[in-house]
């Protein structure tokens, strides 16, 4: 049995998650699924123009892992362009570089990835209530079987029974 994949740090969630060739009905298309971390790899290397070592650091992975993720993403994009397939962006093994939170009183704040690993928030920094919950990042669809990591689910500090 293989080992669990490492979570990749992602700093961007695409708002548009489906692309298809013009003039071809969806029913006649094959789809290729691009994971969130594959999109992040393309964004960092090809759009931002960063070196692979810097990209790997930003995603919290080794350079060889980054190279493998980027290679997979580029192969999938080439397949869709050359063979007239659709691209669906969803899922993957990732953690947002930041996490938004909201307390029961409506205060919102963000916490960086590194802080989430070592010291996740227990209280609202404004009103100090323990009734906090993570916000769903924009553009995600946590409920459709995506493999993106989600912590929590409900108000922390309250009895959900």
The answer to whether position 61 is within a domain reads yes
Percentage above 70 pLDDT, the chain: 78
User: How many domains, in total, are found in the chain?
Assistant: 1
Domain of 30 in residue numbering reads as: 8-89
Three-class DSSP category at 3: coil
The answer to whether position 31 is within a domain reads yes
pLDDT in tens, 33-42: 999 999 999 9
pLDDT in tens, 85-124: 999 998 877 777 677 888 999 999 888 866 777 788 889 9
Whether pLDDT at 127 is above 90:
yes
pLDDT in tens, 57-85: 998 899 999 999 999 999 999 999 999 99
The answer to whether position 42 is within a domain reads yes
Question: Which CATH number does the domain housing residue 62 bear?
Answer: 1.10.10
- The CB-based long-range contact list for 69-74 (8 Å cut-off, 24+ gap) reads 69/8, 69/37, 69/38, 69/41, 70/38, 70/41, 70/42, 70/45, 72/38, 73/34, 73/35, 73/38, 73/39, 73/41, 73/42, 74/42
The answer to whether position 67 is within a domain reads yes
């Amino acid at each position: 049995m293989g080992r669990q994949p490492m979570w990749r740090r992602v700093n961007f969630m695409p708002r548009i998650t489906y692309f298809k060739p013009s003039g071809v009905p969806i029913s006649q298309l094959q789809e290729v699924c691009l994971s969130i971390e594959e999109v992040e790899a393309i964004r960092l290397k090809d759009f931002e123009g960063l070196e692979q070592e810097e990209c790997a650091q930003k995603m919290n992975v080794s350079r060889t892992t980054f190279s493998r993720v980027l290679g997979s993403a580029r192969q999938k994009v080439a397949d869709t362009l050359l063979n007239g397939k659709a691209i669906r962006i969803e899922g993957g093994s990732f953690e947002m570089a930041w996490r938004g939170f909201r307390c029961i009183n409506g205060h919102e704040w963000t916490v960086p990835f590194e802080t989430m690993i070592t010291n996740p928030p227990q209280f609202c920094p404004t009103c100090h209530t323990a009734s906090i919950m993570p916000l769903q990042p924009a553009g995600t669809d946590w409920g459709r079987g995506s493999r993106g990591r989600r912590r929590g689910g409900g108000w922390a500090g309250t009895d959900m029974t």
